[in-house]
Amino acid sequence: MRKKKESLRASILDSLKNRKKSRPKLAAEPDRPEGTLIASYNVHKCVGADRRFDPERTSRVIHEIDADVIGLQEADTRFGERTGLLDLRRLERETGLIPVPVAGVTKAHGWHGNVVLFKQGTVRNVHQINLPGLEPRGALIAELELARGGSLRIIAAHLGLLHRSRAQQTRLIVDLMNDGSDTPTILLGDLNEWRLGDRSSLNTFQSAFGPLPPAVPSFPSALPLLALDRIMANRRGMISAVEVHDSPLARIASDHLPIKAVVSLETLASDDRVHSHIA
């Protein structure tokens, strides 16, 4: 038990050291990487660290990220008849991002607050998954045909706050990976797991996604200490190292910082899966 606590403490100390060393990048700096950029962002229902509801500010952060594919969490109101909080038509005009269609909803942007937006390509299939647990949680699975070439399956999820619920939800997602599909897959979202080591509910994903990538602290946005947000792929070398999008605006627009990585299109054409029986 002491070793596990020391591991978490060391991770927090490393985060604080890296925070002091790094200089926040201004939004105007041209740092857009080459390749297909994917991102994940818990927009916290467009309520910022200053407790102000400001969808316009949230949209500006999404514009800063300039992702080709992005998964959003908490993009809808949570209770009653879910209602989308962003101006998706304006976002499409300004960024080219269009939402993956979700069936059976009228006013909501996504599924249990999960939204997948992409720039160029076509949607081959969409699945809306209810995740088990005490809270209403879900995952949105989108199979995309990218304009640059290659098929990509995105699993955008927001896992529960309770450890027992997360354990059930991770097992279900792994079961979904055993569908016989050979499509390269990326899991992204707010996975709500701050534990490291053996106690982490994310260890279940290793059978489908291999060893977990290094944790990148993204919460809370003003001083990120915990890696609640994750991006992982089921093929080796498929994504670059995950980074936070740390800008002055991002640090106040939500209680989470966005995270991002670049997809290797060459890997999409290969068959370097984590395990031969899992796609």
Model pLDDT, residue 279: 32
Overall CATH class of domain 2-24+33-268: alpha beta
Cis amide prior to 132 (ω within 30 degrees)? no
For the entire predicted model, the pTM comes to 0.86
Residue predicted with more confidence, 27 or 157:
157
Instruction: Render pLDDT for 27-58 as a digit per residue (tens, 0 to 9).
Output: 444 466 678 999 999 999 999 999 999 999 99
Spell out the domain ranges in the chain: 2-24+33-268
Contact 50, 222 (CB under 8 A): no
C-alpha Rg value of the chain to the nearest Å: 18
User: CA-to-CA distance for 189 and 110, rounded, in angstroms?
Assistant: 13
Residue predicted with more confidence, 156 or 194:
156
Instruction: Render pLDDT for 175-226 as a digit per residue (tens, 0 to 9).
Output: 999 877 788 999 999 999 998 888 899 999 999 999 988 999 999 999 999 9
pLDDT confidence band for 276 (50 / 70 / 90): very low
Residue 15 clears pLDDT 60, i.e. is over it: no
Greatest extent of the chain over all pairs of C-alpha atoms, in Å = 52
